[in-house]
Chain A
Amino acid sequence: MHINIQSITPDFFTPASSEVWSKNFELLPNSKYLVKAVSGSGKSSFFNFLYGLNNRFSGTIQFDNSAIASLSENDWTSLRRNKIAIVFQGLRLFPELTAMENIQLKNTLTNHKTETEILAMLAQLDINQLANKKADTLSYGQQQRVAIVRALCQPFELLLLDEPFSHIDKAQITNAVNLVNQQVEANQATLIVASLGDTYNINYTKTLLL
């Protein structure tokens, strides 16, 4: 997805000078971006703007040359199903559902992956044995990996990862990064990772300091 950002600033707080706020830049398909910032500088707000959860900003964001301000509720629903995948900082899993149910809840919208493929992805992140455990019985790191797999269970052109590996050990981060890279490449998508500082050994096209 070709994303064109023109001088956006949030309306609800005054951000410090950065490479994102009040700047014009593009995010291109088949590219990987790192948004690096300290806590509280507006990483999640930036993601919320891109995911359509918040529209309290000035400036313009365009997806493939059309301004997102003009998108309808249905357009956003369709984008969230078919074009934009996200791992929220707060994960937003349903604690009462099992890991597999959480993933299937997303997957059934498009039937993008088979159960075998999902299990293979879980296995890649070493959590396949937890598939039938309720989300609230998993550690935060395990939940993060479930959320990553869930985000990959849809077709996407833009993958937003908001501090996705914060509670995962190094070995598993490597596995997760490999999985993410594979899927991003398979989808020829744009990847945007928000991080407090770690680069997670991803080969970024560009790093944006926020």
Chain B
Amino acid sequence: MKIPPLTIDGVREGLLSRQFSATELAGEALRFAEGENATTGAYLHFSPERALAAARQVDDKIARGEEPGPLAGVTVAVKDVIVTKGIRTTCGSKLLAHFIPPYDATAVERIEQAGGILMGKTNCDEFAMGSSNENSAFGPVRNPVATDRVPGGSSGGSAAAVAQGTAVVALGSDTGGSIRQPASFCGVVGVTPTYGRVSRYGLTAFASSLDHIGPLARSVKDSATLLGVIAGHDPRDATSAAAPVPDYAAELTGDVKGLKLGLPREYLKDLTSETGRLILKGVDTLKSLGCEVREISLPATDYAIASYYIIATAEASSNLARYDGVRYTFRSGSSETLSDMYRNTRGEAFGAECKRRIMLGTYVLSAGYYDAYYLKAQKVRGLIARDFANAFQQVDAIVAPVSPFPAFKLGEKVDDPLAMYLSDIFTITGSLAGIPCMSVPCGKTAEGLPVGMQILTRHFDESTMFRLADAFERTQTR
């Protein structure tokens, strides 16, 4: 049986019309994914037993005439920073190479309750720190569109898995762009929902005031369906929001007439590249669909990178303090005293980017620097959030690039961490404000590299964001 890349609706039709069973589909998907993985390294490990057990449950439900759930038989790849009970969760780190979590993340639990099939765990930058997936202790991921290029990061494995068709949808995590940027680089849809929309119970903490779980998919509708399944309040995550969750997928009417869109002046000045031309072409398309476009201003944009990399690294330095050789599998073998054990374990196990960020975060929180760096960065974050609040008094959504450039070559930027940080400018602002934002494919460069267009909306207004992205997607030829 050869299965083409399916949508969620396609899987459902196939199952209900008995074209294939969930077990056949999962088995074929696993065989295909294991073969493809030699090219991209998108997955760190597969979970065939769990996948086939879940598929059998779906088949049983269908045989009994029961509703099999909104994700029945849908293959899902999960970023390896999201814990899965009994299935290794490494966070792309040597430190957790053998870590077997004792519980499931809420998002994973909800996917399986909805009939979804866990394919395996996807590669990522160590502890989700990176923009190229080159910081994984288990090797980089290659972009399935052009295998000499990076897939983006940190959710590079999830984006690559969806792009190469080895899963219908995937879960990623996003702190400063880690879902949207790889989605853009791999030519798929990537969604960072409102902060608090999806429970982070079971997401390994990087920067707690910025961390999100979100979907990656080959269509806007599939990303909307997956978000609908994983969103909503969870008593196990005190930061998860109580706001009601709409039926996102049902709201995709294709009608965006009269929506007011903002183009940030501060982002446009750098839009002379091929990426910029594709974004502006996308904006013209949205105009032709009846949207009103106006220029807006987000004046604090120039300070966003500094603010983000202070706040994120400060929080990371605290969150990563727990990896001390006591509880989490890896301990350096050569320590006489407890303090040596801490130092040696962390020195041996963390990769260069994690160390760099722990150092930076510890520095900005240390005596004498707290006010100048950390507190100042939080105030600037307040200004960035205010910029968006002001903009959303004039417009319903903001359209922007995701990344200043398309996927770059492996190794091209590894030696210049600041340059890598600076390339996060368009995704970081939305993360700091905590608003929903997504990347939707908007064409390819002359070299055939995908480019994503970013859509940002008000807190908890994922509906408008999805509706716009879906209407836009309908105009694009695949």
Q: Do A and B bind each other?
A: no
